[in-house]
Amino acid sequence: MTVAFQGETGAYSESAVRALYPGVRLLPQVSMEDVFAAVVGGRADRGIIPIENSLFGSVHVNYDLLLASEVRVVAEVHVRIRHHLLAVRGAGLSSITSVYSHPQALGQCQTYLRRRLPHAEAVPTYDTAGAARMVAWKGKQHYAAIASRHAASEYGLELLAEDIESHHQNYTRFLALAPSGSARPGALQARPHKISIAFALQTNVPGALFKSLATFVLRDLDLLKIESRPLVGSPGEYLFYLDIEGSLQDVPVARALEHLEELTALLKVLGSYPIGGTWDEPLHDS
Amino acid sequence: MTVAFQGETGAYSESAVRALYPGVRLLPQVSMEDVFAAVVGGRADRGIIPIENSLFGSVHVNYDLLLASEVRVVAEVHVRIRHHLLAVRGAGLSSITSVYSHPQALGQCQTYLRRRLPHAEAVPTYDTAGAARMVAWKGKQHYAAIASRHAASEYGLELLAEDIESHHQNYTRFLALAPSGSARPGALQARPHKISIAFALQTNVPGALFKSLATFVLRDLDLLKIESRPLVGSPGEYLFYLDIEGSLQDVPVARALEHLEELTALLKVLGSYPIGGTWDEPLHDS
C-alpha cells in the first residue's frame, strides 16, 4: 500500500499517515493538488490531507479539491501538534543564535522564544520538517529548529526543550482519501460512523438552511460539524459543510439525504467513514 | 485617532485599516495579542484583526481573544488579497534568481512560479511586506518579492507581474475592535447591521443547536454565518459562531438573544455593527 501526503519526511502530515496506516510506503508530494492527483491517477492507494485545525480553522482550499475531485473520504484522525526545540547533540540553550521554523510555528512559540531565547534570530522556513533537516545538515551547535519529535528522530537531532507552544490545544484533523470508484466496505462495522457532505442551497427557498438541518435533526441524527462559507462573487449564497453521525447504509441517513436534495442546488457526499480518534506522539519515537 | 494592526507597513492588514479609517495614525504590532492589548490599554482607539479568509477559514485564535478580551466589534471589511511580483526598477523576469515571500503566498503563486520562473529559488519570509522591504533594501535586480501593490509603492518597487495567485477568489475579512466600555452609537443607522455572537450549548438539552438556531429563524432573522468548533478535551461539546442580520436595538433580536440564553452555557455578543463592503486595491496606489 502506498500513501501520498504533502510535505517532507518528519512533517505532521506524516504522523497522520503513520497513525492511520502504519508501515506503508510513503509518497511525499510538493502540493495538495499533487496528493489528489496521486490518488486519482492510481500512483497512491490513499492520500492524506489536513482539513481543519483547532486554532486556524477549516482548510477551504482542500474542501474545494474534495468537491472537484473523484475521491472519497475513507478515514480521519486528529493529530496533536506539539512543537519542540531541536538541535545537534551537545548544543545548549545558551549556544543557540538562530531558530528555524515555519512562520506559524515560530508565532505559536513566540512566548517561549521571547523569554528563553530573547537574542536568537527567528528564521522562517517552508515547513517544520525542512527546518529540522537544515539544522541537521548545517551541524552547528548555534542553530535550532522548531519541529516534531519525529523530525528530531528522523534527522538525528536532540530535544533541547519540549512542548514550547503557547496553545497546547493544537490539533489538526486529517482525512484519508481513496479513489471514488474503489470498493466500498460491505457490512457496516460496529464503530460509530460519520458522513461528511457539502451543499449549496436553492436561493428561492425561505429558511432553507434551517430546513436542511431539520432533515437530519427530525430523524434524530446528530450534527458533528456545521460550517457556512460565503460563495465569493455571489452575495447571500453559501456553501455548507456538515458532518452527521451515521453511515450511508443507515435508512434514516439515506432518507435525510434524499430529503436534503429537494432543498439544495448542489450536494456532494464526501465520504462515510469511522469516527476517528486522536493521535499523540509516542514518548520514544520508533 | 490611532489604529493598531498586526504586521508591518505594506501588510494586507494595513489595507483594512486604510479602507475603514483612512488618514488615521497607524500603530503596527508584532502579534495579535499586542493588538488586543493596545485597544484594551487605551494606546489605540481601534484594533484591526483578520477573522476569516475565503481559502483558509476562520481564525479561531482570534475568536479566542475576542471571547477573553474586553473589546467589542464595531466594523468589518473584506479585503481582496492580490499577489504581485515586485522588484527594483530595471529588473526583468529573466534576471530574477530568488523570490521572497510568506510560505502561504509562495504556495498560492506556485503555478505561476513553476511556469515563468522555474529556476528561481523560493525563499520563505515572515510576511509579504517584509519580503518587499528586504528586496528593496538589497537593491539587486535578481531578487523579487511577492506582496501587495501597496507594499510596492511603500518600498519603491516596480510590479514585474500582477495577480499571479492561482485562486483569485482570495478575500480576508477583518474586524475593527473598540474597548468594551466606549460609547455605543445612539440611533440606529440606515445601513443594514449584523450581530456576531459566540456560544456554547448546555449539554443536557436534546437538539440544542437546532433550538438555538430556531430562536432566530422563527423570528425571521437571517443567519449570515454559522460555524461549529469542537472544544478540544470536551468530546461532543462545541463552540458556535453565529452572525445574524439585525441590530441589538431591534426588539426581535433582543428577544432572540434572551431566548438563546435559556439554552446556552456560555454566550457572548461580540459586537453589533454595519455589514461591511469589499475593499479592492486602487489601480494607482496613493
DSSP letters along B114-163, please? HHH-TTSEEEE-S-HHHHHHHHHHH--TTEEEEE-HHHHHHTT-EEEES-
**Hey, is A125 helix, strand or coil?**
coil
* Percentage of residues of chain A with pLDDT beyond 90: 76
Q: Residue B244: list chain A partners with CB under 8 A.
A: none
Query: What span, in angstroms and rounded, lies between the C-alpha atoms of B68 and A236?
Result: 30
Q: Residue A223: list chain B partners with CB under 8 A.
A: 209, 228
Query: What span, in angstroms and rounded, lies between the C-alpha atoms of B2 and A71?
Result: 50
Name the band, by pLDDT with cuts 50, 70 and 90, for residue B284. low
Confidence (pLDDT) at B189:
62
User: Is B31 within 8 Å of A107 when comparing Cβ atoms?
Assistant: yes
Query: What span, in angstroms and rounded, lies between the C-alpha atoms of B68 and B72?
Result: 11
Mutation to test the B interface, candidates A146, A217, A239, A243, most B Cβ within 10 Å: A217
Q: Which three cell numbers stand for residue A54?
A: 483547532
Enumerate residues 190 to 219 of chain A having a beta carbon within 8 A of any beta carbon in chain B: 207, 209-210, 213-214, 217
For residue B260, which of B200, B195, B180 has the smallest C-alpha distance? B200
Query: What span, in angstroms and rounded, lies between the C-alpha atoms of A244 and A194?
Result: 5
Query: What span, in angstroms and rounded, lies between the C-alpha atoms of A157 and A129?
Result: 12
* B30-72 pLDDT per residue, tens: 889 999 999 999 999 999 999 999 988 899 999 999 999 999 9
E-strand ranges in chain A read: 2-6, 25-29, 46-53, 57-58, 71-80, 84-87, 98-101, 121-124, 143-147, 158-161, 171-179, 193-201, 223-230, 238-245, 264-274, 278-279
Per-residue pLDDT of chain A (286 residues; tens, 9 = 90+): 999 999 888 889 999 999 999 999 999 998 899 999 999 999 999 999 999 998 888 999 999 999 999 999 999 999 999 999 999 999 999 999 999 999 889 988 989 999 999 999 999 998 899 999 999 999 999 999 999 999 999 999 999 999 999 888 899 999 999 999 876 655 556 678 999 999 999 887 778 899 999 999 999 998 999 999 988 767 778 999 999 999 998 999 999 999 999 999 999 999 999 999 889 877 554 4
Judge residue A206's burial from the number of C-beta atoms within 10 Å of its C-beta, 0-12 exposed, 13-18 middle, 19 or more buried.
exposed
Residue A183 Cα, gap to closest chain B Cα (Å): 31
Q: Which three cell numbers stand for residue A263?
A: 432543498
Confidence (pLDDT) at A66:
97
- Rounded mean pLDDT, B246-266: 94
Confidence (pLDDT) at B286:
43
Q: Residue A214: list chain B partners with CB under 8 A.
A: 210
Q: Which three cell numbers stand for residue B164?
A: 499571479
Give me the helices (H) in A55-207, please.
60-68, 103-108, 110-116, 128-138, 149-154
Instruction: Answer for the pair A55, A170: CB distance below 8 angstroms, yes or no.
Output: yes
* A97-142 pLDDT per residue, tens: 999 999 889 988 989 999 999 999 999 998 899 999 999 999 999 9
Q: Within 10 A of A189 (CB to CB), how many other CB atoms are there?
A: 11
User: Is B226 within 8 Å of A227 when comparing Cβ atoms?
Assistant: yes
For residue A76, which of A10, A2, A128, A21 has the smallest C-alpha distance? A21
Enumerate residues 221 to 250 of chain A having a beta carbon within 8 A of any beta carbon in chain B: 223, 225-230, 232-233
Q: Does an H or E element contain B67, and which?
A: helix B60-68
User: Is B210 within 8 Å of A213 when comparing Cβ atoms?
Assistant: yes
Residue A114, C-beta contacts closer than 8 angstroms, at least 6 positions apart: none
Enumerate residues 6 to 65 of chain A having a beta carbon within 8 A of any beta carbon in chain B: 31, 52-61
Taking the alpha carbons of B277, B282, B285, B286 in that order, is the dihedral positive or negative? Answer: negative
Confidence (pLDDT) at A187:
52
Query: How long a stretch of residues is chain A?
Result: 286
Query: Which residue of chain A has the CA closest to B32?
Result: A107
Q: Residue A228: list chain B partners with CB under 8 A.
A: 223, 225-227
Query: What span, in angstroms and rounded, lies between the C-alpha atoms of A183 and B151?
Result: 52
User: Is A207 within 8 Å of B223 when comparing Cβ atoms?
Assistant: no
Give the DSSP per-residue string, B162-224: S---S-S--EEEEEEEEETTSPPPSSPPSS-EEEEEEEEE-TTSTTHHHHHHHHHHTTTPPEE
Taking the alpha carbons of A129, A132, A137, A143 in that order, is the dihedral positive or negative? Answer: positive
In this complex, which of B122, B171, B228 lies closest to A226 when CB atoms are compared?
Answer: B228
* B91-125 pLDDT per residue, tens: 999 999 999 999 889 988 989 999 999 999 999 99
For residue A85, which of A130, A139, A128, A140 has the smallest C-alpha distance? A128
For residue B39, which of B87, B72, B78, B77 has the smallest C-alpha distance? B72
Q: Residue A226: list chain B partners with CB under 8 A.
A: 209, 226-228
The question of whether B172 is a catalytic residue gets the answer yes
**Hey, is B271 helix, strand or coil?**
strand
Query: Which residue of chain A has the CA closest to B208?
Result: A217
Q: What is the ipTM of this complex?
A: 0.87
Q: Which residue has the cell 464595531?
A: B74
Instruction: Answer for the pair B244, B224: CB distance below 8 angstroms, yes or no.
Output: yes
Residue B15 Cα, gap to closest chain A Cα (Å): 19
Residue A200 Cα, gap to closest chain B Cα (Å): 14
In this complex, which of A52, A61, A223 lies closest to B209 when CB atoms are compared?
Answer: A223
User: Is A54 within 8 Å of B31 when comparing Cβ atoms?
Assistant: no
Query: What span, in angstroms and rounded, lies between the C-alpha atoms of B46 and B179?
Result: 8
Residue B196 Cα, gap to closest chain A Cα (Å): 14
Query: What span, in angstroms and rounded, lies between the C-alpha atoms of A59 and A38?
Result: 20
User: Is A61 within 8 Å of B55 when comparing Cβ atoms?
Assistant: yes
Residue B101, C-beta contacts closer than 8 angstroms, at least 6 positions apart: B83, B109, B122, B123, B124, B125, B128, B131, B145, B146, B147
- Report how far apart the first and last C-alpha atoms of chain A are (Å, whole number): 20
**Hey, is A177 helix, strand or coil?**
strand
In this complex, which of A171, A210, A226 lies closest to B232 when CB atoms are compared?
Answer: A171
Instruction: Answer for the pair A171, A51: CB distance below 8 angstroms, yes or no.
Output: no
State the catalytic residue, choosing from A172, A199, A215, A264: A172
Name the β-bridge partners of B85: B146, B161
Q: How many CB pairs below 8 Å do chains A and B form together?
A: 96
Query: What span, in angstroms and rounded, lies between the C-alpha atoms of A150 and A133?
Result: 12
The question of whether B216 is a catalytic residue gets the answer no
Q: Does A102 touch chain B (CB under 8 A)?
A: yes
Mutation to test the A interface, candidates B8, B30, B53, B55, most A Cβ within 10 Å: B55
Give me the helices (H) in A139-240, please.
149-154, 208-217
Instruction: Answer for the pair A79, A19: CB distance below 8 angstroms, yes or no.
Output: yes
- Report how far apart the first and last C-alpha atoms of chain B are (Å, whole number): 20
**Cα atoms in the 13 Å half-sphere on the side-chain side of A69:** 25
State the catalytic residue, choosing from B5, B174, B199, B240: B174
> What is the b/e burial string over B203-224, where b = at least 16 CB atoms within 10 angstroms of the residue's CB?
eeeebbbbbbbbbbbebebebb
Query: What span, in angstroms and rounded, lies between the C-alpha atoms of B39 and B180?
Result: 10
Q: Which three cell numbers stand for residue B239?
A: 463552540
